[in-house]
Amino acid sequence: MKIICQIGVVFAVCWVSQLIEAALPFPFPASVIGMILLLLLLASGLLRVEHIQEKADFLLANMAFFFLPAGVSIMNYFDLLRSSAVALVVICLVTTVVTFAATAWSIRLTLRLLERRKNRV
């Protein structure tokens, strides 16, 4: 019964997020609204982690599995892929390196500025 209640809580949050998504004038994914909503519920203490722990652990541990069907549906787009497979791979590789460097350097800069300010005070 415990697990069923937890599923109920999480599904209810997801349903409310869908209502919010429908009400918003711009495209904001319901699943992300659900994530923010759940975080607010946890942070405000209205919901305790114990209330959804097992369900969350189950979903998080098996996260990748739930995307399998989404990945399989790529077989409907083989034609599209054939023409842009090279571009797709190149884009994935190049942007990963660029993103890594930009993130690491911006953090290093921030840390140094914080350090300098601390030393001055």
Partner 1 sequence: MSELFYSPFFGVALSIFTFWVGVRIQKKTGLVVCNPLLIGVVLTIGVLLLFRIPYEAYDQGAEFISLFLSPATACLAVAIYGKLPLLRRNWLPILVGCTVGSVVSMGSVLLLCRLFGLDEAMTASLLPKSVTTPIAISVSEAHGGIGSITVVAVVLTGIFGSITAPLLIRLFRVREPLAAGLAIGACSHAVGTSRALELGETEGAMSGLAIGVCGIVTVLLSLLLM
> Which residues, 36 to 75, sit near partner 1 by CB under 8 A?
36-39, 42-43, 49, 52-53, 55-56, 59-60, 62-75
Tokens (6 digits) for 95: 């942007």
Displacement of CA 12 from its chain's centroid (Å): 19
Q: How many CB atoms lie within 10 A of CB 55?
A: 19
CB 8 within 8 A of CB 54: no
Instruction: In angstroms, give the least distance from the CB of 92 to partner 1.
Output: 5
| Angle between helix 49-61 and helix 2-23 axes, rounded to 10 deg | 80
Residues 8-37 that bind partner 1 (CB under 8 A): 10-11, 13-14, 17-18, 26-32, 34-37
Is 3 near partner 1 (CB under 8 A)?
A: no
By CB under 8 A, the residues from 69 to 108 that bind partner 1 are: 69-77, 80-81, 84, 87-108
